[in-house]
């Protein structure tokens, strides 16, 4: 139980500045945009790591020669790299589909909230 509380507190700790500085909606919007910018910078980094893992496995597979153990380890690295690439590109595409479907694309300004006409 102590490990869970410790891990939960570590997970919540980075969010405290956003909560403490939340004086109004503009502060929350700034915090969300900061997190969004951070995520947008991390996505290409994770994709690059996936490509490097795949290439490292490929080089290990080619240079393994007849050693089955090295080939097996290199094959698993290549599979992990392909899985990382597939998951990241799939999630990136799914988020893009959701953004365009619900009209929350930030390049076109804030979404228009429909109003009920008064009669």
pLDDT tens for 15-46 read 655 555 555 555 666 777 787 788 778 888 88
Is residue 112 in a domain? no
pTM of the model: 0.58
Residue 89's domain spans which residues?
Answer: 68-103
Domains held by the chain: number: 1
Residue 88 domain-assigned (yes or no): yes
- Asked if the structure places residue 15 within a domain, the reply is no
DSSP 8-33: HHHHHGGGHHHHHT-SSHHHHHHHHH
Domain assignment present for 32: no
Residues 6+ apart with CB under 8 A from 112: 103
**Residue 87 in domain:** yes
Note the Cα 89 to chain centre separation in Å.
Answer: 10
Would residue 86 count as lying in a domain? yes
The pLDDT tens digits for 57-93 are: 999 999 988 889 999 999 999 999 999 889 988 888 8
Provide the b/e sequence for 28-42 (b: ≥16 CB within 10 Å). Answer: eeebeeeeeeeeeee
């Amino acid at each position: 139980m102590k490990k869970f509380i410790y891990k939960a507190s570590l997970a919540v700790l980075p969010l405290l500045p956003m909560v403490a500085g939340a004086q109004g909606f503009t502060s929350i919007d700034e915090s969300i945009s900061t997190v969004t910018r951070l995520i947008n910078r991390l996505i290409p980094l994770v994709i690059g790591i996936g490509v490097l893992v795949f290439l490292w496995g490929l080089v290990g597979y080619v240079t393994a020669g007849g050693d089955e153990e090295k080939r097996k380890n290199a094959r698993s690295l290549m599979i992990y790299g392909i899985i990382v690439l597939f998951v990241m590109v799939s999630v990136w595409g799914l988020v893009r589909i959701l953004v365009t479907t619900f009209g929350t694309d930030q390049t076109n300004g804030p979404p228009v909230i429909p109003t009920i006409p008064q009669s």
